[in-house]
Structure 1
């Protein structure tokens, strides 16, 4: 199978891209230099909880997988989501050249899958009992209760990563709501339950 063509690359958004006739008028006179320390920026988001997902794909030369904490819903109609792929990940070339991917949304029972796909230098598909292929060919960890089959529609390259906007083609949810969601916070895995509800 020949590797698929990568999704089209669009240039990074500029401040003027957000300006229209109905928006407040603002025109920065010149680019404003950043006044933030990189370490401070990293700390900000280290303390921001994020849901955990695993991305899987096969661009034609073998399956790849990566754990991600950047998956977010962008739009319901059309059903769009976004995620980022680090250029340092060994899975990046495969994920970015695949025509379709599977986005696994993990709960507490899937922590083993999250840890496996976050570990460098291991064969994430060595245990054939944990995964299979969808009828359309994508690799899928079949014990994960919630997953989406998606098609990338836009990519934006930024230093150190590529941001992907994808359209959801298929959603599957088995026994949804019976397990606690898996969350990554301050470099540690956590789960959400009723005790975490704010009053």
Structure 2
């Protein structure tokens, strides 16, 4: 591991920060709202089990702004068959909400993926601006569980399928 400079320039820290998080694998979700609006995120995290709450961050794209203004959202946790859909919702010109993507609407109007690993309907509790992003904390009000499957993972600017194989409990030291 390289040494840490006491106080590098802010632009250098930002670039190194992005590089560090490219090395951090994260689950992938498409967050949707009625309209429809949606985007791919890899920042979903559990906040609390009682009451059930989660968080995610959104940047200021058109889709991001629509999600920030929505009174309710669906967080679709993606599985191995969703890599193309994740790419489409990650880019501004990608196909969205097409019949072939398998969308359905909840009775409350939000689109969701019936074949997602899980779809969590949530209502925003807090929207906190942080730099160029907004951190959203939302209460989960309904959960639809799909088939248990391996998750879709984002790592180093690409999508992978989690294997489900457990990591070893110990690592043998190098000789």
Regarding TM over 0.5, the answer is: yes
Instruction: Note closer, same or farther for the CA distance 1:197–1:134 as it changes in structure 2 (3 Å cut).
Output: same
Larger radius of gyration: 1
The normalised TM-score by structure 2 is 0.84
* Ranges in structure 1 where 5+ consecutive residues have no aligned partner: 1-32
Q: Deviations over 1:31-64 (max 9, x none)?
A: xx96462211111111011110110002xxx210
Instruction: Note closer, same or farther for the CA distance 1:41–1:125 as it changes in structure 2 (3 Å cut).
Output: same
The normalised TM-score by structure 1 is 0.75
Alpha-carbon distance, 1:163 to partner: 0.5
Which residue does the alignment assign to 1:56? 32
Q: Match of 2:62, SS?
A: coil
2:53 is the counterpart of 1:77: no
* Ranges in structure 2 where 5+ consecutive residues have no aligned partner: 1-5, 170-175
Cα distance in 2 for residues equivalent to 1:64 and 1:140: 11
The count of corresponding residues between Structure 1 and Structure 2 is 161
Which residue does the alignment assign to 2:167? 197
Alpha-carbon distance, 1:146 to partner: 0.8
Alpha-carbon RMSD: 1.9
Cα distance in 1 for residues equivalent to 2:157 and 2:100: 29
